[in-house]
Every structure is written in structure tokens, then in C-alpha cells.
Amino acid sequence: MPSVFGVLTVITAVLLFVGMIFGELNMNIHEIIILIAVLAPIGLIEYIIYSWKAVQLAKYKK
């Protein structure tokens, strides 16, 4: 089951990429780097929580 934050991060990245291609978003490199720097830790934290829950479920199933 994909996570909400992971899906949102992917959707945001795709929209930014498409926007950059078509030139609708006049973002410079620095803004994109800042956005990635903000989104990446959220995805990482969410991934750690998801992994921890999977480990907990594995422990209970034994």
C-alpha cells in the first residue's frame, strides 16, 4: 500500500517537471532545490515510520 506522503511527493515532483518543460512555472533552480530539500525529509521520515510499522507487524505475527 503506497503512502500518502510518498504519493504526494511523486505527484509534486511530476507536476514541477511538467511545469518546467512547458515553462508555466517560472521557478529558478534555487526554488526547486529548496522544495526538494523540504519534501525529501518528509518522505524519508514517512518511509522510516512505514518500515518500523512493518517490523512491528512481523514481530506480532511470530
**pLDDT for 24 beyond 60:** no
> In this predicted model, which residue has the larger pLDDT, 27 or 61?
61
d(CA 53, CA 36): 26
**Overall average pLDDT of the 49-58 stretch:** 85
Indicate the average pLDDT of the chain.
Answer: 76
Residues 54 and 47: beta-carbon distance below 8 Å: no
Would you say the pTM of this structure is higher than 0.75? no
User: What total number of domains does the chain contain?
Assistant: 1
pLDDT over 70, % of the chain: 79
**Structure-model confidence comparison of residues 52 and 21, the more confident one:** 52
- Whether the Cβ atoms of residue 42 and residue 5 lie closer than 8 Å to each other: yes
For residue 13, what are the domain limits? 4-61
